[in-house]
């Protein structure tokens, strides 16, 4: 079963570039992962309809972290993408972070 890693930012544009890089890395390593990017305004619907395994916020919406954690952290791990990794579009590093978050949550 694919693990769903969803990225959210203001419009979903730059984040979709990172999501594509993350998906390429996952495909290269044959990881059962689905990486997608959305606008933050869609987060409630996306979480309800698609049940992600990990929510990552783009650095430009990190001010929303507390609110998103308060709403969703009980059901899915939530974090902000490191701004250096985001700026470098380091899909492998961000993917590793997301996979680690999912594994740590499943151990609890």
Alpha-carbon span 105 to 1, nearest angstrom: 17
Of 3, 74, 16, the residue nearest 42 (C-alpha): 16
CATH number belonging to domain 3-107: 3.40.50.2300
Answer yes or no: is pLDDT of 12 > 70: no
For 21-62, the pLDDT digits (tens) are 999 999 999 999 999 999 999 999 999 999 999 999 999 999
| Catalytic residue list contains 9 | yes
For 56-70, the pLDDT digits (tens) are 999 999 999 999 999
- Burial class from Cβ neighbours inside 10 Å (0-12, 13-18, 19+) for residue 41 reads exposed
Mean pLDDT of the chain: 95
Give pLDDT, residue 11: 80
Give pLDDT, residue 34: 97
What are the residues facing 6 on neighbouring strands? 36, 55
The residue annotated as part of the active site, out of 9, 47, 64, 99, is: 9
- The residue ranges of every structural domain in the chain are 3-107
Answer yes or no: is pLDDT of 13 > 80: no
Answer yes or no: is pLDDT of 108 > 70: no
- State mean pLDDT over 7-16: 86
């Amino acid at each position: 079963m694919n693990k769903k890693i969803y990225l959210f930012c203001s419009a979903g544009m730059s984040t979709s570039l990172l999501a594509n890089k993350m998906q390429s890395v996952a495909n290269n390593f044959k990881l059962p992962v689905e990486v997608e990017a959305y606008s933050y305004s869609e987060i409630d619907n996306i979480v309800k309809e698609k049940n992600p395994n990990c929510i990552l916020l783009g650095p430009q919406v990190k001010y929303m972290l507390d609110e998103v954690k308060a709403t969703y952290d009980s059901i899915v791990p939530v974090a902000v993408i490191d701004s250096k990794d985001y700026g470098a579009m380091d899909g492998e590093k961000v993917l590793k972070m997301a996979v680690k978050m999912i594994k740590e949550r499943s151990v609890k």
